[in-house]
Amino acid sequence: MPQRLPIGIVGGTGYVSGELLRLLATHPSLKLGSIASVSQTGTPVAQVFPNLASCVDDVSFASVDELESMWRDGGLRGLFCATPHGAAAPVIARLLEGYGGSGRVVDISADFRFRDVRTFREIYGQDHGAPQLADEFFCAVPEHSAPTPARHAAHPGCFATAMLLGIVPLLRSGLTDGPFHIAGVTGSTGSGRSPLATTHHPERHSNLYAYRPLNHRHAPEVRAIALHLTGEDAAVQFVPHSGPFARGIHITIQGSLARSADGTSLLAALKHAYEDRPFVEVVDTPPRIKDVVGSNRARITATAEADCFAVMVVLDNLVKGAAGGAMQWMNRLLDLDERAGLTIPGPAWI
């Protein structure tokens, strides 16, 4: 068996970190080297993630100082940063300052999703924590860029991942015109581990409601990434909804077809875009969340009537939309098979 490479996780107590731990537990080429938490330093990981007790029973959360020491001594080949938005950039800057090793970083926060740090300030209302590092990170869905044109990577947000899977092939194909009108529904885990009024189970159960309609931060994120990848500046009009389930995302993208396009050509363009991408399946019927929950897979389809089209995408917000997509980037940055550790099927009846 080849030696498994040690990986670090910063910001270790959230749902995404739990998914990273789950994926690392069965990864053939990577293993957990250190996981750091400011709030839970010294606490057994199994106490925070009891579902992972069988694979982390002897691991405790390290301090950031302890993880940094391992990183600078060459004891970690890669780092996942899963801290909250705004907190990631200063931590990453600290870890990369004066660093001469070969380790790679994948950021799962929003801090390195925008190439222009002024855009980050406009959307998040705060200065960027490490503007000098903006050019060292590349942000996109892994399926849309190969090879990776930067030393480090940033994974788009979960809603953004779903939208980009539909929008980027449409823009590259030239089969659509005008703005994209998008409605999306996400599970409660997308709001993080700390309970809020909108994520409290009695409020969310058997309920459905929109939030931040036409004013969600993922819309400019999608527009900026799509522009960089395709050269097309397409308006994104996005209305997100909170769904009464824990995990998963379903989005519907609607708009106008170009004059020469129809549903058949649209579906063909999607199939061509993802024909060699193992984690995106283009199907002929509307996909369901339970088709993909718990896995790193996404499913997508398209239909059209007259000059209107609809594209539907489903994925797991914690896996393909966060930890799994980040693992794809880490595999690629470390010259591993992109599928490594990510082929486990979803449980379907979760």
Within 13 A of 302's CA, how many CA atoms are on the CB side? 26
**SS3 category, 79:** strand
- Point out the catalytic residue in the list 55, 139, 158, 308: 158
Q: Is the dihedral of CA 323, 139, 271, 315 positive or negative?
A: positive
Q: 158 an active-site residue?
A: yes
For residue 207, the number of C-alpha atoms closer than 13 Å in the C-beta half-sphere is 14
Residue 46 CB partners (closer than 8 Å, separation 6+): 52, 53, 56, 57, 59
**Cα three-residue angle 92-95-97, rounded to 5 degrees:** 100
In whole angstroms, give the CA distance from residue 131 to residue 123. Answer: 15
Q: Of 19, 10, 76, 59, which Cα lies nearest the Cα of 39?
A: 10
Contact 189/15 with Cβ under 8 angstroms?
yes
What residues are labeled active site?
158
